[in-house]
Structure 1
Amino acid sequence: MQSNGMLEDRAHDVYRQALATLEACGVPFLVGGAFALESYTGLVRRTKDLDLFVRSADRHRLMDALGRAGFQTEWRFTHWLGKAWQGEYSVDVIFNSGNGLCVVDDLWFEHAMPSVVLGHSVKVVPAEEMLWSKAFVMERHRYDGGDIAHLLRARVHLMDWARLLRRFNVHWRVLFSHVLLFGYIYPAHRLRVPEWFMQEMLRRITLDMQSLPSDPRVCQGTLLSWSQYLVDMDPGGYEDARHPPRGSLTWAETRHMTQVLTQEMNAP
């Protein structure tokens, strides 16, 4: 039986090959996931995949380069995610989020942080965009709130809070919920959140309490979990916020995502 160290060495060899391949082909990319979180927080977590973020316009070039380097490739979800793998170790090629909200754009690259990952000089996803994309991951089997709390503990005083608010836009309640939990998890750090931000959140909550809901038939739970709110989408029920005019995903995209993820969740 192989030791954890040997398995980790094999995984890192695969990831190093991927990084070297992409550096050679010149496709701009950012490292995210566990390696980016480690760059910001110092917390090390074993992972069986390497998350690479890329502009949508560059995603095919990046996947083609990995394919030529000997990786098997697949567009797992056409609106969000491609996979390249060798054995049990994979590289996730990400250009959006599963809910369609967090598109990788030029600002990701403009604010990216230089780092060293597995001996390669790379840029990692900006802390603000990492928080933005992780904030909507609230599945029964996966919740990224712990990553966000650790990221805030390390970077709360350096965050561009105005850019964070612009990123979340009408979904500012999601950001506020994580900031409130941060103050609960780390009471000694709660005052490091800018006072103007907290006052702005309270102002918005107060205004909400004084007005009727503008969209009473929508359920935004599907932006947080692809599975736990499907029961609310029964005929005659709520409208799915992932679809136009509120969201950007088509019925075909959400139906395919539900089928694939349900199969994986139910697999033995």
Structure 2
Amino acid sequence: MSSNIPSLDDLDPKTQEFYTKALKTLQGAGIPFLVGGAYGFEHYTGIARHTKDLDIFVRRGDRDRVFEAFAAIGWRTELSLAYWLGKVFLEEDFIDFIFNSPNANDQVDQIWFEHAVEAEIFGVPVKLCSPEEMIRSKAFIMERHRWDGADVAHLFRACADQLNWSHLLERFGSHWRVLLTHLILFGFIYPSERERIPAWVMQDLLHRLHKEMSTTPPSDPLCQGTLLSGSQYLIDVECWGYQDARLRPQGSMTAAEIAEWTAALKKNK
């Protein structure tokens, strides 16, 4: 894996200047940040996929400092969704500042920074989100209009030999079934490469599954599908009596935050 991302040279010069100034502005303000999204993905997999923006990950506690730093140089800022996403604009270009996931299950914390990877973008030294954190965040994106499972498979293919598997298992925690699902799909997608997934990882997860099968299921109806898609399981929680796994105290979101995200999904349909 190279520490440079050469295909970024194809970016429009005006957009590249915007991104470069943004990175240097954050560094000048002393705000810790990580680069992820398409640029982190290309660094690990070699797959170039230029999107309409740059994804920057920051801790929620640094959110206001980010906005203040860019407002000071005359750029427009927007707190798009208060619990996870902000934006910074310069004319037609913009940058997403992410401090959580849409399901509020993946808050950017110090561990993200402890496992970050050194790289360089536009000649600016930066830190990238680790492949483990990218896998974890992408594993839960299963909307009808966007499914990141192929990204997860490509990250496994590119990084399986270097992944900190113990860390990855720990980060999925009680949602280990989601990780197991992606690993089973990896073996289907790449049958000749399934041995790249450590046997002990599969044995650990399958042992959990076997153990779970011998226990009594929870009595309260709970739908964890909302952690995967904010739109496709609304009927379960709105009409069929299931508890929403996103909602406090089971999850990390308030009813107002869920309503805000649902409205945004419907708007962008």
Task: Read off the aligned partner of 1:158 and give its amino acid letter.
Answer: Q
Deviation at 1:57?
1.2
Partner of residue 123, structure 2: 119
Q: How many residues align?
A: 261
Deviation at 1:61, TM superposition (A): 0.5
Q: Determine which of 232, 244, 254 is the counterpart of 1:240.
A: 244
Structure-2 separation of matches of 1:87 and 1:215: 53
Alignment of 1:149 onto 2:153: yes
Quote the offset at 1:214 in angstroms: 1.9
- CA offset at residue 215 of structure 1? 5.0
2:26 aligned residue: 22
Q: How does 1:21-170 map to 2 (within 5 A)?
A: 21-170=25-174
CA distance in 2, matches of 1:210, 1:243: 28
Q: Is the 8 A contact 1:221 1:229 kept in 2?
A: yes
TM-score by length of 1: 0.93
Greater shift, 208-217 or 162-171, is seen at: 208-217
Segments of structure 1 that go 5 or more residues without pairing to the other structure are none
Distance 1:235 1:150 in 2: 37
Query: Do 1:79 and 1:253's aligned partners in 2 also have CA atoms closer than 8 Å?
Result: yes
Report the Cα distance in structure 2 between the residues aligned to 1:222 and 1:68, rounded to whole angstroms: 38
Secondary structure at the aligned position of 1:76 is classed as strand
Q: Provide the C-alpha distance between the structure 2 equivalents of 1:221 and 1:6, rounded to a whole number of angstroms.
A: 39
3-state SS of the aligned residue for 1:206? helix
Alpha-carbon deviation of 1:112?
Answer: 0.3
Q: Secondary structure at the match of 1:92?
A: strand
Q: Aligned-pair distance for 1:7?
A: 6.8
Q: Give the Å deviation of 1:260.
A: 2.1
Task: Sort the Cα spacing of 1:64 and 1:213 in 2 relative to 1 into closer, same or farther, 3 A.
Answer: same
**Aligned partners of 1:135 and 1:175 also within 8 Å:** yes
- CA distance, structure 2, for counterparts of residue 178 and residue 235 of structure 1: 29
Residue 92 (structure 1) shift: 0.8
Deviation at 1:173, TM superposition (A): 0.5
Distance change (3 Å), C-alpha of 1:36 and 1:215: farther
Report the alpha carbon displacement of residue 216 of structure 1 after superposing the two structures with TM: 4.0
Q: 1:32 to 1:215 in 2, by over 3 A?
A: farther
Q: Secondary structure at the match of 2:12?
A: helix
Give the aligned partner of residue 253 of structure 2: 249
CA contact (8 A) 1:48 1:88 kept: no
Indicate the SS of the match to 1:45: coil
- What TM-score do the two structures reach when normalised by structure 2? 0.93
Structure 1 residue 23: deviation in Å? 1.6
Matches within 5 A, 1:164-243: 164-214=168-218, 216-235=220-239, 237-243=241-247
CA shift in 2, pair 1:109/1:222, >3 Å: same
Percent identical residues = 49
Contact 1:11 / 1:48 at 8 angstroms: preserved in 2? no
